[in-house]
Structure 1
Amino acid sequence: MKLFYTNASPYARSVRIVLREYGLEERVGETISHPFDDAPEFLASNPLGKVPCLTLDDGQAIVDSEVICAYLDRVMGSGRLGGILESDWALRTYYGVCSGLIDTLVLLRQEKVREQQELRSDFWWQRYQNAISRTLDYLNRHSQRLGDTLSLAHINLACALDYLNFRHPEINWRNAHGALVRLADDLEQRTSFQATRLQE
């Protein structure tokens, strides 16, 4: 099996953390593939041209980070990371909000690139900033939903906050979100998290 990824993708990081939590690194080879390179093997597996993408031994491809994480958890793992979400709608909602935060942070990153080209939309820039601020407040306020047992929701949250630090260091989220700071700092001590931190 092969995982296409980039070191700067928060979506790919979540998958790489799950791989390490289950000790699957030897079974799944990791291949860096920048989407803009349009590598034929990568595009043949994922026509969207997005990472991460997991190809199975039979040639089947699984795309989208949440789908890949669920596959690794249920089929190749014990189900312990995602099972708790199945019957806890509050936790599943928290997980979804973390995913939405990642999406918004990526959109804000794209506006930064557009700004360098003098194409930035002030309207969308402000909407993304406002959404990020509200979402961080929400996640901090409802952080007790996560509980103490590691789940896909914990992983999603950590990947969102790491990407926030990585691409948007000007956003000072730590001062007003103590619960998130404690969660992120604790999670980043795990071996699986230390081995997958975002980088260029």
Structure 2
Amino acid sequence: MTQVAGSPMIARARWRAAEDRLYPTLLADPTAYQRGLAAIQAVVEELRRRDVDVAGLMAFETAPDEVLEVACPGGVAVPVDLLVAVACGMRDREITAAATARRREEAVQAARTAGADWAVLDGPADVAQLAGGRRVAVHLATGIVVEASIDEWAREDQFVVTVMPGESRSFDDREAWLSAIKEIEAATAAGGGAPRGATADPS
């Protein structure tokens, strides 16, 4: 198999492209789909058992024979390059989800230890520092989540605040958006709950 290298970002793009190529082919043949899916799941399970990280996935992609022999001793009925890449993509998403869950739990525990009302799960501690992407904060007493996001490609209403449970509001003006977020967070912390009568769901 050809050696592949590069950053995790490049690898993830390659793995997504493999999914785009493989799944339409399998869907055209139900029998091949079942066999292919079983092979992918077997490889993912073996990668999970070995507890490899993203670097390990990239290494596996370059030298997959040992894992394939264990996971699929009877051989595979789909192109090995695609099988390996799709399995890497699936396991990578599991690793990322687990890391995100750990990071968020750590943020919640740190906020509770500090006696804070809010825990920031993603993004900067101060929403005013957000220049792109999103910031997610959870109110510890109620479980209300406030997500502030910026869509840099939007032609209008690029500033959005979403309250969960609750509503979404969008703004053209950054200062109005920041003011709305501060008001929502202050009202929630003061016991006002989510805007417009939304009911919180403590967790």
More strand by share: 2
- The TM-score, its normalising length taken from structure 2, stands at 0.24
- The TM-score, its normalising length taken from structure 1, stands at 0.24
Largest Rg, 1 or 2: 2
With a CA cutoff of 8 Å and minimum separation of 6, indicate the structure with the bigger relative contact order: 1
